[in-house]
Every structure is written in C-alpha cells, then in structure tokens.
Amino acid sequence: MKMISGGVCAAKGFKANGLHCGIRPNTTKKDLALVVSDVPAGAAAVYTTNLVKGAPLTVTKTHIADGIAQAVICNSGNANTCNADGIEIAEKMSALVEACTGVDAGNVIVASTGVIGQPLNLAPIEAAMEDLAAGLSYTGDQDAAEAIMTTDTVMKEAAVEFEIGGKTCRLGGMAKGSGMIHPNMATMLVFLTTDAAIAPDMLQRALSTDIQKTFNMISVDGDTSTNDMVSILANGMAGNALISADDADFAVFMKALNTVTMHLCRMIAGDGEGATKLLECAVTGAADEQTAKTVAKSVICSSLLKAAMFGADANWGRVLCAIGYSGADVDVQKIDVSFRSAKGTVEVCRNGAGVAFSEEQAKEILLEKEIDILIGLNSGASSATAWGCDLTYDYVKINGDYRS
C-alpha cells in the first residue's frame, strides 16, 4: 500500500471540477464542485448527529437509500440549512447535474457548506452548471478540493494504491473543515472515491466502522456542525472480485480507507481556524478502548490545554484536569504524561504527580508545529488517538466576522 496523488480522481473512472459561480462574493474563491463516476457506483455515507440538519443531508439520504450514486455536487459559501425551500433547492441542484451530465438526479449526493440560515440562490449554480460539467477532468481533483473550502487555508487531499485479488485498486478523497468541528459521526464534509468493487452494505460497514477511530476523534472548537457528512463512492472499475463479506479482501480495503481518513483527519485538525499547531493525543494502557477514546477526546477538547499549547506552556495539570472531568473510570495515581515533538520528549507527570523537568526544554519542544500529548493510564492494553489544534487569538477574529 502506498500514498499517491490524485485525491478524488485517483481512482479509475472519476472526474472532477470546481469553479467560482457567484455564491461567494470573492471572485478569487471557487464555490461549486462536481465529482462524477463514469459508471454508477456503490454508495455509503454518515451524517451529523445535530438535530438541526442541512437540507442536502436529507436529500442525500433519500438518494442513496438504494446504495447507489454516481455524482457529488457541493457548494461552499452557504450551508442551505434552516431554509424553508432548502429541500427544493437541493433537489434542483441534483436535477441540474442530470441535465448537464446525464447522471440520474436520484443518484446524486448533494452537499453544502457555509453560513447557516441564509437563503441559497439557485441562479448562480444554474448559470455555471454547463461550464462545471464541461470542465470535468480525470485530473480535476484540486479544482474540486478548492471549491469546497470555506475558512480552510489549505486544500485537503489524500489517496492510496493497494492490491486486492491481484488487481490494483485506488482510494482517495478530499475534505473541508477548519471550524465548527466537534463531530459525533464523521466531520465537516469529506468525499471519498474508490475503484474497488465492494457491496454497498460492506461499504457502509467499512465507513461506519472507520469513522469511530478517525473523524469522530477530531475536535477544533467543540461545535458540531449541522452539515457534517462523509460519503464514499465505489465504482468497481479496478476489476477485483466483489467484496461481499468480512474477509481478507475486506481487511485490505479497511486498511486503505483508514490510511486515507487518518491523513485527512490530521489535515483538518492542523488547519483549525486560527491554529498554529496540530495536537495529537495518544492514550495507551487503558482498561478498554472506550476509556481510551473518552480520555483522548476530553484532553484534545480542553480549551485551557489548547491555549497552553498555543503559548508553548507545559502546563500538564490541564491534561490531568481534562482526564478528571472526562467521566472515564481511571486510576489517577497511575497516570503518566509526556509532551513530544520533533525537538524531543519531556516527561512531566508520573503516577499522577509532577516530576522535575526543564522548562526551557519543554518550551522548545512545544514551540514546534506538531505536538504529541502522550498519556499512559497503566491499567490495561487498550489505546486511542484524538486530534485537535491550539486555541489562538485568530480563532475569535475569524468567527467574529464569519458572515462577512
């Protein structure tokens, strides 16, 4: 298995494009993306658990109820959420895809991201759809990845190549997400594609299982979006025997999926709004996996810990504090904590108590762009990892004038 380029176009038979249609006032920013498979594909998705859901999610659920889809249409700049005509607009976006590509409207995944509660004008989408479809390309992944960005500062893509049954398969994807990130299913918007042949029910199983250790373990700001969705299309063009059971081929597919989603997770967390550092909290020695996940997520969500990381302050008491209120059943007198980066590792807590360490060395370690928070619970053999970012002044600035 190896990392490759191509994002959503890495897999055989997927074209993509992105352009500026006019939803966003800034003409230098693309705001409409389209991904189309050459053939109908197996489809699966997971959605936000927020009771307030964007209309596109409702429409997408209906469209892929049969496990089949062939295209993805996504706009940025407007979430199409809490709008009286939201369902109608999402359905019309699908109809426009059919009119310009020939893909059945009922086989279109629809997504929107941006401001909540603002009516979405269909006119600019309608005016741009012919150009969007005409520009579809097997190398159009970056145009599409750019078009789904909102406050993101970088495009987020990943792809892998792997082998199943002697056939070369590929799986890739793109993501957007920078703020309003605290998922309880998946996160932000993520679109995955693969040319592996896998039954829709197994595809759904793979995705639903994977997100529990990847996208569900990210937090930037503690806010769960109304429009979170992760979808995947599998068109089978690699020619492998259909994966229809939990066998060795399914295990390889799961590994490929996890490799891509892990890369996207790190990109999303590291690009948190206003962030200067990627934080990775690795918990080991837990009595069970749920305990490890609860502890890791609690630490990565702590605003005080995030602020300390911004200031390169080895305030390890904030780690213990977050563990203490997490609700996890742990023995606090067994907890070890260390901070690690490219500049080295510093142990700051052993058996629930502080140990002598060099503040100068700790600061040097915490000034790096990627920081690992290592927690040993010393009560079992289970582990978990969560990702987040530091909390900076710029987070408030960005969200203080988000609508502008």
Residues 298, 221: one domain?
Answer: no
Residues 291, 227: one domain?
Answer: no
Residues 101, 154: one domain?
Answer: yes
Task: Output Rg (C-alpha) for the chain, integer angstroms.
Answer: 22
Residues 185, 295: one domain?
Answer: no
β-pair type (189-194, 229-234)? parallel
Q: Largest alpha-carbon pair distance within the chain? A: 68
β-pair type (167-176, 189-194)? antiparallel
Is the separation of the CB atoms in 15 and 101 below 8 Å?
Answer: no
Per the structure, how many domains does the chain have? 2
Residues 319, 241: one domain?
Answer: no
Q: What is the pLDDT of residue 186?
A: 39
Q: What is the pLDDT of residue 54?
A: 85
Q: Which of 151, 187, 226, 392 is catalytic?
A: 187
Active-site annotation holds for 187: yes
Residues 40, 125: one domain?
Answer: yes
Q: What is the DSSP string of 291-303?
A: HHHHHHHHHHH-H
Q: What DSSP designation does 225 have?
A: -
Out of 215, 245, 270, a domain closes at 270
CATH of the domain at 378: 3.10.20.340
CATH of the domain at 266: 3.60.70.12
- Output the six-digit token pair for 168: 């070369």
pLDDT digits (tens, 9 = 90+) for 134-155: 999 999 999 999 999 987 888 9
Q: Which residues of the chain have pLDDT under 50?
A: 181, 184-187
Q: What is the pLDDT of residue 291?
A: 98
Q: What is the pLDDT of residue 216?
A: 86
% of the chain residues with pLDDT over 90: 79
3-state helix, strand, coil split of the chain in percent (to 5) is 35, 30, 40
Residues 62, 133: one domain?
Answer: yes
Q: What is the pLDDT of residue 50?
A: 75
Out of 227, 251, 270, a domain closes at 270
Residues 209, 292: one domain?
Answer: no
Out of 251, 270, 289, a domain closes at 270
Residues 59, 145: one domain?
Answer: yes
Residues 17, 132: one domain?
Answer: yes
β-pair type (370-376, 278-286)? parallel
Q: What is the pLDDT of residue 397?
A: 79
Could you list the residue range(s) of the whole structural domain that residue 351 is in? 278-400
How many whole angstroms separate alpha carbon 37 and alpha carbon 240?
17
pLDDT digits (tens, 9 = 90+) for 334-389: 999 999 999 999 999 999 999 999 999 999 999 999 999 999 999 999 999 999 98
Residues 234, 333: one domain?
Answer: no
Residues 214, 361: one domain?
Answer: no
**Cα angle value 66/68/70 (rounded, 5°):** 150
